[in-house]
Chain A
Amino acid sequence: MTRERTDDELFRAEGIKLAFGPKLVQQGLDFSIRRGSIFAVMGPSGCGKSTVLKAMVGLLRPAAGIILVDGEDYWAASGARRTEIGRRFGIVFQNGALWSSMTVAENVALPLQMFTELNRDASAALVRLKLAWVGLAHAADVMPSELSGGMRKRAGLARALALDPDVLFLDEPSAGLDPIASKRLDDLIVELRDGLGATVVMVSHELPSLLDICDDGIFLDTETKTAIAHGAPRDLKEISDHPTVQAFMQRERAGEKESAHVQG
């Protein structure tokens, strides 16, 4: 939209440490996200990508470190202020997390009913638009249980778009989708980013979409429990010399690469 599309920083994390009680998930994370970029949180399964996302959207308080949203310390803010900041976020959960007792249209309409003064007709028009964007205009009155996995994800996306978010967080958007559906979803994300002028943060380990659409990111490691690379996935593929990153990007097993080194 007409929000300034300058390359300034929207989001900044400094020295983030995440832990569940004594169990450390990630530590020492420093990164910043530029306005209008598509930022990837990458890494092997189980490295804590989704946990990092949860901390960014305010579902999990980091054990240490600060998160700045537009220069404002998110976790130091009052509860009411946090809710206000959070309203600028749209979150798409891994399996859609649609409310199972409402139709798809009602799912998208709920944020509008809760946070805006719009009347029924106006919010219905907005809901139709959002559903049309994700290609689900025909499925407005269907219950979530009747949707396929891909449709559920797109419905989750429509719900996340309900309030025209500034930042769109996606947890594993293309996991479990066939390559064509996954490509279509990627295109849609880019299209929405360009149209809405939003910033996109996605957690993913799907190489094709990482390489295709992301223009920045961090790579989390399971063993050292911290970020081992920063940058756009396609650059990391070319320039990173870290064996784990290379193995991930080239789809090899880390062990093979190392043993190759030993032999060479």
Chain B
Amino acid sequence: MTESRTTPAWRLARTERHVALLTLEGDWLARETGLRDRATVERILGETGDAERLSFNSSGIGDWDSALVVFVKALRDAAPRLNIDASGLPQAASRLLALATEFPERSSATSAAREPLLARVGHRATDRWRGTVAVSALVGETVQRALVALTGRARMRTVDVIDLMREAGAGALGIVAIVNGLVGGILGFVGAVQLRRFGAEIFVADLVGIAMVREMAAVMTAVVMAGRTGGAYAAQLATMQGNEEIDALKALGIPVYDYLVLPRVVALVAMMPFLYIYACAFGLMGGLVVGVATLDLSPAAYLVETREGLNGTQFAFGLVKVLAFGALVALAGCHIGLSAGRSAADVGRAATSAVVAGIIGVIALDGIFAVCADALGI
């Protein structure tokens, strides 16, 4: 398209008493010569004065596209009093102009008018309440269906559970190892710097051991799983929602809880204890490496001290926590995924809020556990 374009031009003339004739020239191409703006349209209409009919002469027009149709349509829309006679336009243009009017505009305007502030606050509040009810219902339903599942009567496919377990368990080994190994090492450094001042280097082993087993292994693993698995659950279910896959399940009478939520919760909860033990091992190893490398402790002494510092209660406490975290992450992911909207952006939003809800939930829950443990003297 190297040929030069001439800018659109027009001339208005009065042919008869009530007829104005608009002569159009030049190239009317939206992408090359642009569109006429509203002011131009109004100026032309102003010049027509008391004319009742506007006709066109387009014999001198060059190339044209939608720009011309938009222009004539704007003239017509801006002056309903004026009788637009499109017969002088190129034939194709008058057809396109007619096409733009032919369809009756059924007003099924779904875009609701903006509500007043009070109504919006009220709606938000009831939405929140409904959300809370939905979460409670999901938790209740899961517990109920899990009990049914224990008797082997839930309509859950074993294949799904095994796949999900592999994804949530074996698939996460790498990142859990890295994160917990590093956290163990970092705790070792922190302890080494402080304890060296008291000549109590050996107690680094206790510090790392207790911190990992009681807190960090469980929390870090749960945070990793919230980012990895919780987000994935939400994205998966939200995409299924968008594809009407969930509607298809419901229509067939397949219970969504049994089929989608329960396998995910079961798989994650079942994998969490293993990941926790594994995380503890890597955390202790991280501490051991740092202790041996920076404090001249012998590995044997470090291990003996670790054994003395830890007891079964610490592990049991960590295990209980990690089970609760797993259930929380899986339920949050599933709930957010199931209640997501149907667009691509909704899927992204669901994944984000599942991760955020998972992480905040895990840390808040850990706080509650800490308070309980304190009260119980564990």
Contacts and interface: CB of A to CB of B under 8 A. Distances in A.
Interface of A: 1-3, 99-101, 115-118, 121-122, 125-126, 129-130, 132-135, 137-139, 141-146, 163-164, 188, 191-192, 194-197
A121 B92 contact: no
B59 interface: no
Contacts of A163: 31
Given A1-B64, A100-B242, A100-B345, A129 B70 contact: yes
Interface string B12-44: 000000000000000000110011011000000
Given A118-B30, A195-B99, A129 B66 contact: yes
A96 B349 CA distance: 23
Contact of A116 (B31, B73, B343): B31
Given A129-B100, A132-B103, A138-B109, A122 B34 contact: yes
Given A138-B105, A139-B108, A100 B343 contact: yes
Given A2-B64, A139-B108, A163-B31, A125 B70 contact: yes
A164 B236 CA distance: 38
Contacts of B65: 1, 164, 196
B105 A137 contact: yes
Contact of B66 (A135, A141, A164, A188): A164
B344 interface: yes
B110 A142 contact: yes
Contacts of B171: none
Interface string B330-342: 0000000000011
Contact of A126 (B30, B99, B110, B344): B30
B111 interface: yes
Nearest to B77: A128
Contact of A125 (B74, B93, B101): B74
A142 B66 CA distance: 23
Contacts of A126: 30, 35, 66-67, 70
Chain B: interface residue count, which band?
35 or more
Contact of B90 (A2, A101, A116): A2
B5 to A, nearest CB: 12
Given A142-B110, A194-B95, A135 B34 contact: no
Contact of B96 (A3, A122, A133, A143): A133
A146 B341 CA distance: 11
A143 B62 CA distance: 38
A124 to B, nearest CB: 10
Contact of A132 (B100, B109, B110, B242): B100
B343 A145 contact: yes
A146 B96 contact: no
B4 interface: no
Contacts of B158: none
Interface of A (DSSP majority class): helix
Nearest to B41: A125
Given A100-B344, A138-B109, A130 B66 contact: yes
| Residue from B62, B99, B342 whose CB has the most chain A CB atoms within 10 Å | B99
A91 to B, nearest CB: 18
A139 B38 CA distance: 23
Interface in B331-367: 341-346
Given A1-B90, A117-B34, A132-B73, 17 more contacts: A1-B64, A3-B63, A100-B242, A100-B345, A115-B31, A118-B35, A122-B35, A126-B30, A126-B67, A132-B100, A132-B103, A133-B100, A134-B103, A164-B66, A192-B96, A195-B93, A195-B96
A2 B95 contact: no
Given A116-B31, A138-B107, A2 B341 contact: no
B106 interface: yes
B255 to A, nearest CB: 25
B345 A101 contact: yes
Contacts of A130: 66
Nearest to B345: A101
Contacts of B106: 138
B69 interface: yes
B66 A197 contact: no
A3 to B, nearest CB: 8
A121 B343 contact: no
Given A125-B70, A138-B108, A1 B92 contact: yes
Nearest to A121: B37
B185 to A, nearest CB: 43
6 contacts: A101-B344, A101-B346, A115-B31, A116-B30, A122-B30, A192-B96
Contacts of A196: 65, 92, 96
A9 to B, nearest CB: 20
* Among all A-B residue pairs, the 7 with the closest Cβ atoms: A135-B103, A100-B343, A101-B345, A122-B35, A132-B100, A195-B96, A164-B65
Contacts of A135: 102-103
Interface string B94-132: 011001111101111111000000000000000000000
B63 A2 contact: yes
Contacts of B34: 117-118, 122
Contacts of A122: 30, 34-35, 37
Interface in B65-88: 65-67, 69-70, 73-74
